[in-house]
Amino acid sequence: MKVKDKKTFYITTPIYYPSDKLHIGHSYTTVAADAMARFKRLTGYDVMFLTGTDEHGQKIERVAKEKGVSPKEYVDHIVAGIKELWKTLDISYDHFIRTTDPEHKETVQKIFKKLYDQGDIYKSEYEGWYCTPCESFWTEVQLNEGKCPDCNREVELVKEESYFFKLSKYQDRLIKYIEEHEEFIQPPSRKNEMLNNFLRPGLEDLCVSRTSFKWGIPVTFDDDHVIYVWIDALSNYISALGYLSNKDEKFKKYWPADVHLVGKEIVRFHTIIWPIMLMALGEELPKQVFGHGWLILEGGKMSKSKGNVVDPLILEKRYGSDALRYFLLREVPFGSDGVFSNEALVNRINSDLANDLGNLLSRTVAMIDKYFDGTIPSCAELEDVDKELMDMALATPNKVEELMNQLLFSNALAEIWKLIGRTNKYIDETMPWILAKSEEQKPRLGTVLYNLAESLRFISVLISPFMPSAPDRIRQQLGIDNFDDLKSWDSLGEFGKIPAGTKVQRGNPIFPRLDVEKELEDLEKTLPTESQKEDKSKESSKEKEGDQKKDTEEKAEITIDDFAKLDLRVARVMAAEKVEKSDRLLKLQLKVGDETRQVVSGIAEHYSAEELVGKDLILVANLKPVKLRGNLSQGMILAASNEDGKLSLVTVDKEIEPGSTVS
Ligand code: MSP
């Protein structure tokens, strides 16, 4: 009999730059990809989950030189540490690719040659700027006060003979593709950003080789050149599947990828350069590129150079991989930025894991122990309250699946926690300790305890993609860890599968309650969370340009105290003018009480300088001042915007003195 082919699912993380300190922000993408890979395996897919390291480029060559080792020695050492981190966080990747793997190098060389042979790559001369930390090319106009517009660091003037890739030739095809494939770039706000900021203004051909350093994949037909790292790196998604080799079964099986998970700052490479490479190669495009937000600390995005990195190894050691993974995926809606804080972590562990889940298990097992001598009783006649619990348990898997298919990890977990909450409420409603007082009520008590155990079995399966070891610890206490058929997704089609008579095994709390104060004190000593050094590193171009376009994605909940941190004021525009060499920026002089403030705002495409004068706007007055294109900006004015790129300034509806507070 021919076994029916399984459905396939191919998911990737970005490949990481070898860095001796991967922080919790890096772990975020990989944990999310892992949860998704585990979920798909659980629901019957043949999964290919790829991660790895991006090891070439000028940056690595320089660091290795500084350390007095060869680039290969340097990366070998670091990659071992990265693999160790993924092991600690229970990352179940199917393949770990290194761009120094010989098979990868060969594929990249073949890709380059193919594009050259067909005329999509040509030789010319490059003169422009290069940001080594970002490995990005910039034109003079794109620079921000002579610095990299992405990370604000120094750029270098590069003038060398180079190969170029004809991005411009494919631009219209790509625009059409993106417009016709809603799901290709997610969340939708990132799609608009790519179309409006990069594609529609027009693409320049991309410089795709370098001659001024050696640590890269050589161009086979021109020894002096090494291939641009992003061409090298992006190719990993297909070289790992044996593309253009004689072992390309995996490519045939898994390509196109179902989803590339990437951080928002590298969406540009994945939705412009990568699809154009694939178009030129005549291959299908990935079904989706999902640009998730950043985990940030108060000082901005975590980065080693800012000294504000949170070490996942320290947290894992204290709280375990389950708790850390749960926190990362529950706390922040996946498309949005989210603030990491020790307090939020410890509180979530206490409330969601120790209280809601841990206590539910301990109470259930303790009651089975006490009232039925440790044996799961059988279920007798059902009452409405039992049916309600069962119906909810049976409905939860589909809801979770729907949310997971949209990468809504936090919402999927919230759905599971609704079932946990319902089960806890079921204990309050049925009051087993009262039932236990009368012998007559024994069958009813048995039914209640059986349903509690079965509900916990459902929960153990549902949480398994997110928390790799808690499910087995739950099953051990329920005495069902040897029953494989009770662990599958399909087993959630029926409520009542645990055999009555199973022996439970009381154990320690699966998530011990933490002493919040003590934890915060200890963590404070090891993990910085505030007053970070001046940002010298990657910041979003949004922050850089004073762009007030709001993300339309769901944001994390805030308290009234969070809101009270904002100093919002009415500000009257006294004068306005365009910022030189910028199509988007206007420089405004605002009257705020007795003070005059200068604010630079990215609204020039929506308002002329003249029409703004005299308007009363709303200013975020206590925003840290920044310099935009050399102009001091002391705050930010508020505006509404929608997905079509429309923008409207927020104003007051009656005359009121400038400087009045807004709350
Ligand atoms: N090497 C490139 C990717 C090439 S993919 C063909 C790269 N590497 S990286 O190590 O700098 O970043 C890897 C991933 O980690 C990116 O998706 C990035 O967005 C993510 N993160 C790094 N810091 C982060 C946070 N603070 N928060 C969330 N994700 C972050 O870019």
| CA 262 to ligand 1: nearest atom | 17
Residue 82 CB less than 6 A away from ligand 1: no
Choosing from 11, 20, 23, 26 the residue with most ligand 1 atoms within 8 A of its CB, the one to mutate for a pocket test is: 26
Euclidean distance between CA atoms 42 and 500, whole angstroms: 26
Cα of 263 vs centre of ligand 1, distance in Å, is 6
Q: pLDDT, tens digit, for every residue of 361-402?
A: 999 999 999 999 999 999 999 999 999 999 999 999 999 999
Cα-to-centroid distance, 65 and ligand 1 (Å)? 24
Q: With a 6 A CB cut-off, is 26 part of the ligand 1 pocket?
A: yes
Alpha-carbon separation of residue 105 from 112, 134, 166, 249, 636 (angstroms): 11, 21, 22, 19, 47
The residue-averaged pLDDT of 218-246 equals 97
Task: Give pLDDT, residue 42.
Answer: 98
User: Alpha carbon of 635 to those of 75, 298, 587, 617: distances in Å?
Assistant: 43, 17, 12, 12
- Alpha-carbon distance values, 470 to 93, 352, 430, 461 (Å): 20, 13, 27, 10
For ligand 1, atom 10: residue with the closest CA: 16
Domain boundaries, the chain: 7-292, 339-493, 536-662
Tokens linked to 19: 């860095």
Query: What's the gap in Å between 303 CA and the centre of ligand 1?
Result: 10
Alpha carbon dihedral 406, 408, 412, 415, in 10-degree steps, equals -100
Q: Write the pLDDT tens digit of every residue in 410-442.
A: 999 999 999 999 999 999 999 999 999 999 999
Q: Give distance in angstroms: CA of 627 to centre of ligand 1.
A: 26
H helix or E strand, kind and range, residue 111? helix 102-117
15 C-alpha vs ligand 1 centroid, how far in Å? 8
Report the C-alpha gap between 342 and 325 in whole angstroms: 14
Class in CATH terms, 536-662: mainly beta
Question: What digits encode the pLDDT tens for the residues 152-183?
Answer: 889 988 888 999 999 999 999 999 999 999 99
- Alpha-carbon distances of 599 from 153, 300, 591, 638, 658, rounded to whole Å: 23, 21, 11, 11, 15
For 454, 486, 596, the CA distances from 499, given in Å and listed in that order, are 10, 10, 75
Q: Which of 45, 465, 413, 108 is nearest to 258 (CA)?
A: 45
Cis amide bond preceding 256, omega within 30: yes
Tell me which residue has its CA closest to atom 18 in ligand 1.
Answer: 263
Q: What is the pLDDT of residues 549-577, one digit of tens each?
A: 233 334 556 777 778 889 999 999 998 99
Q: Which amino acid is located at 482 in the chain?
A: N
Q: Is 64 left (phi over 0), alpha (psi -120 to 50) or beta?
A: alpha
- The chain-wide mean pLDDT, for the chain, equals 90
Q: pLDDT value at position 641?
A: 79
Q: Hey, which of 28, 107, 151, 266 would you mutate to test ligand 1's pocket, going by the most ligand atoms within 8 Å of its Cβ?
A: 266
Q: Could you tell me if the CB of 310 is within 6 A of ligand 1?
A: no
Ligand 1 site, residue 215, Cβ cutoff 6 A: no
Q: CB within 8 A of 12, min separation 6: which ones? A: 33, 49, 50, 51, 237, 257, 259, 260, 261
Confidence of residue 232 (pLDDT cuts 50, 70, 90): very high
pLDDT band, very low/low/confident/very high, at 333 (cuts 50, 70, 90)? confident
Q: Is the pLDDT of residue 133 over 90?
A: no
What is the length of the chain?
Answer: 663
| Average confidence (pLDDT) over 308-318 | 87
C-alpha 490 – ligand 1 centre gap (Å): 35
Residue spans of alpha helices (H) in 248-292: 249-254, 267-268, 274-281
Least confident range from 291-295, 470-474, 497-501: namely 291-295
Best residue among 13, 15, 16, 151 to mutate for probing ligand 1's pocket (most ligand atoms within 8 Å of CB) is 16
CB-ligand 1 contact for 29 (6 Å cutoff): yes
Residue 375 has a pLDDT of 98
Query: Which residue has the least CA distance to atom 16 on ligand 1?
Result: 263
Question: How confident is residue 303, by pLDDT bands cut at 50, 70 and 90?
Answer: low
- The more confident residue out of 108 and 145 is 108
Of 305, 244, 22, residue with least CA distance to 112: 244
**Residue 532: pLDDT over 90:** no
**Residues paired with residue 292 on neighbouring β-strands, in sequence order:** 263
DSSP state of 408: -
Cα 262 to middle of ligand 1, angstroms:
7
List 596's β-bridge partners, or say none. Answer: 591
Give residue 47 CA to ligand 1 midpoint distance, Å.
Answer: 23
**pLDDT band, very low/low/confident/very high, at 250 (cuts 50, 70, 90):** very high
CA 330, 336, 342, 345: dihedral to nearest 10 degrees? 0
Burial label, 644 (beta-carbon count in 10 A; 0-12, 13-18, 19+): exposed
Compute the half-sphere exposure of residue 437: CA atoms within 13 Å on the CB side of its CA: 3
**Closest to 599 measured CA to CA, from 639, 563, 562:** 639
- What separation in Å is there between the alpha carbon of 530 and the centre of ligand 1? 22
Higher pLDDT, residue 164 or 654: 164
Architecture field, domain 7-292: 3-Layer(aba) Sandwich (3.40)
Tell me: the pLDDT tens digits for 580-637? Answer: 777 778 999 999 988 889 998 888 888 888 889 899 999 999 887 776 777 788 899 9
**H-assigned helices in 373-478:** 384-405, 409-430, 432-435, 442-462, 470-478
Say how far apart CA 114 and CA 108 lie, in whole Å.
10
Say whether pLDDT at 546 is over 50: no
Query: Could you tell me the CA-to-CA distances from 156 to 129, 149, 206, 211, 586 in Å, in that order?
Result: 5, 13, 17, 14, 29
Q: Is 295 in the pocket of ligand 1 (CB under 6 A)?
A: yes
**Separation between Cα atoms, residue 590 and residue 173, nearest integer Å:** 44
CA of 28 to the centre of ligand 1 (A): 9
Are residues 142 and 189 in contact, defined by beta-carbon separation less than 8 angstroms? no
**What pLDDT, on a 0 to 100 scale, did the predictor assign at position 540?**
32
Residue nearest to atom 17 of ligand 1 (CA): 263
Instruction: Say if residues 56 and 216 touch (Cβ distance below 8 Å).
Output: yes
pLDDT digits (tens, 9 = 90+) for 35-75: 999 999 999 999 999 999 999 998 899 989 988 999 999 99
Distance 27 CA to ligand 1 centre (A): 9
Say yes or no: CB of residue 28 within 6 Å of ligand 1.
yes
154-to-212, 214, 625 alpha-carbon distances in Å: 18, 21, 21
In the chain, pLDDT over 70 holds for what percent of residues?
A: 92
Query: What mean pLDDT comes out for the span 118-133?
Result: 91
Q: Atom 30 (ligand 1): residue with closest C-alpha? A: 25
Ligand 1 pocket mutation pick from 19, 24, 29, 136 by most atoms within 8 angstroms of CB = 29
Question: Tokens 């939860």 appear where?
Answer: 396
Which atom of ligand 1 is nearest to 274's Cα? 6
CB 16 near ligand 1, within 6 Å? yes
CA distance 288 to 33: 13
> Relative to the CA of 19, which ligand 1 atom is closest?
10
d(CA 663, CA 646): 25
Ligand 1 neighbour 294 (Cβ under 6 A): yes
CATH superfamily of 339-493: Isoleucyl-tRNA Synthetase; Domain 1 (1.10.730.10)
